[in-house]
Amino acid sequence: MKGSLLRQVAGRRGILEWFDEFEIHFSVTHEGERVKLFRLSTAGAVIVAVLSSLGAPQGGNAQSGPIHIAVITDMSGIYSAIAGRGAVEATKMAVEDFGGSVLGRQIVVDAIDHRNNGPEAATKAREAFDNGAELAMDETNSAVALAVDAVAKEKHKLEIVTGGATSALTGASCSKYTYHYAYDTYALAASTGRNIARQPNGKTWYGIVPNYAFGTQMLADFTAAIKPEGASFIHADMVPVANADFSSYLLAAKNSGAQVLGVLNAGADTVNTMKQAKQFGLDKSMKIAVGLLFLSDVDALPDVFAGSRITTSWYWNEDAAARAWADRFTKRLGGGLRPTSIQAADYSATWQWLQAVKAVGSVDADKVVAYLDGRQFNDFYAHAAEWRARDHRVTHEMYVVDVLPKEQIKEPHAWFKIVQVMPPSRAFRPESQSVCVKTW
């Protein structure tokens, strides 16, 4: 048989091998006919193995093609500033720093715009997994994170959520194939909520809450956090996501008599809420509790957020290691902007996953999970960190920070002053209180 035909048939399925003493007979099906090629000695089994691997299907389960990481993020909507392109570039930085490959296979980072739509994100995640993705990252939107969580479980692929906040990911919706990496609604409520509720004028709350998975869990976790301090919500408005006009909700809050305005949304919605709250003078008549705030939000409206006390999982100027990584990120993206905590978490989580894959010698999610569960680590993003096996919450230090006014910052974008370091045991839901029904 000519070499060209051998190459053709070697790339097709239908290889048949059978053993006779110490010899192997090798034949293939080509254009409907079984063609016996030759007899091989035992040493020739190596050739059979090579030809068989060439005949493997070239879809998502190929063991020699590129390994894809799907960064499923908001590329154009209300969360694009806190994740978006920066999340994709941070993931690429981790891949490049790792050497661009693992287990002899190239690593490709794919940017997927979920458009803040859970069903659409699920469809795109399924397509990504079917086409070679072994890891889904970011998911900055809780509805998206929960939707991808279901697909990851179905496909036995790994999801590491750095942007979605709902604590349901390690609670009612916990899964073997999903880790919650950065922050969550429990951690935000336990720090910011309790801090304000302990004050004499922090007992009655009025909430502005986005009407989707993140908002409902945020409200539930804040309600539970402030209750032991004798505080409660007298009302909470469930507001559509990507809302431009908050005036009716803010006027209702102002007239309610509540002491605290709980701004429990995120991204551009938080920026718009706070801007309008200042316009209506709510900052003079009520305490304002901002549940989730990012550096990019302060960059957008520094005067509005000055004086706020919030909780974050990371700050670019917290120490030398954080600053060094932030300098590289800023140089890469240009424009002088500093990274958000989500973008830093994307790099960290990608690097940790790549290390796990290298250690176990496989991208198989079950093997990676077995390696990660219970493992402790420290890097520029996560301090005193652990991949908690009980519910797949990745625990680490969190930080209570004050947003400084312009006249107090020493360099551009240095808005935060760390006032308290929260150890993992205080920052996140205690393992003893976990409501995850572990089925794996």
**DSSP letter string, 17-73:** EEEETTEEEEEEEETTEEEEEEEEEGGGHHHHHHHHHHTS--STT-SSSPEEEEEEE
Residues 135 and 219 in one domain: no
Task: Give me the pLDDT at residue 25, please.
Answer: 40
* pLDDT single digits (tens) 201-242: 999 999 999 999 999 999 999 999 999 999 999 999 999 999
And the tokens for 360?
């176990």
Cβ neighbour number for residue 84 with a 10 Å cutoff: 25
Confidence (pLDDT) at 424? 97
Q: Is residue 410 in a domain?
A: no
pLDDT band at 73 (very low <50, low <70, confident <90, very high): very high
Q: Report whether 135 contacts 158 (CB < 8 A).
A: yes
Domain boundary among 291, 308, 331: 291
195: left (phi over 0), alpha (psi -120 to 50) or beta: alpha
44 and 81 in a single domain? The answer is no
Domain shared by 224 and 263, yes or no:
yes
Confidence category of residue 263, pLDDT binned at 50, 70, 90: very high
Q: Confirm whether 370 is domain-assigned.
A: yes
- Tokens representing 133 are 């993705």
Query: Is 203 within the bounds of a domain?
Result: yes
Q: Please check whether residue 132 is in contact with residue 124, taking contact to mean a CB–CB distance below 8 angstroms.
A: no
Contact 123, 85 (CB under 8 A): no
**Does residue 403 belong to any structural domain of this protein?**
no
Q: Rounded CA gap, 244 and 376, in Å?
A: 43
In a domain, 79, yes or no: yes
Q: Do 79 and 172 fall into the same domain?
A: yes
Range of the domain at 369: 67-183+319-397
Higher-pLDDT residue of 157 and 20 is: 157
Three-class SS state of 160: strand
- Check if the beta carbon of residue 128 is closer than 8 Å to that of residue 70: yes
Q: Are residues 74 and 173 in the same domain?
A: yes
Domains contained in the chain, number: 3
Q: Answer yes or no: do 20 and 109 share one domain.
A: no
Please check whether residues 75 and 160 belong to one and the same domain: yes
Residues 6+ apart with CB under 8 A from 134: 67, 68, 69, 157, 158, 357, 363, 365
Span 272-288, pLDDT tens digits: 999 999 999 999 999 99
Same domain membership, residue 158 and residue 192: no
Residue recorded with tokens 């978006």: 84
Q: Could you tell me if 157 and 230 lie in one domain?
A: no
Q: Is residue 229 part of a domain?
A: yes
* Contact between 226 and 287 (Cβ < 8 Å): no
- The CATH number covering residue 376 comes to 3.40.50.2300
Predicted pLDDT of residue 240 = 95
364-382 confidence digits (pLDDT tens)? 999 999 999 999 999 999 9
177 and 71 both lie in a single domain = yes
pLDDT of residue 23: 39
**Whether residue 16 is found in the same domain as residue 50:** yes
Task: Quote the pLDDT of residue 64.
Answer: 76
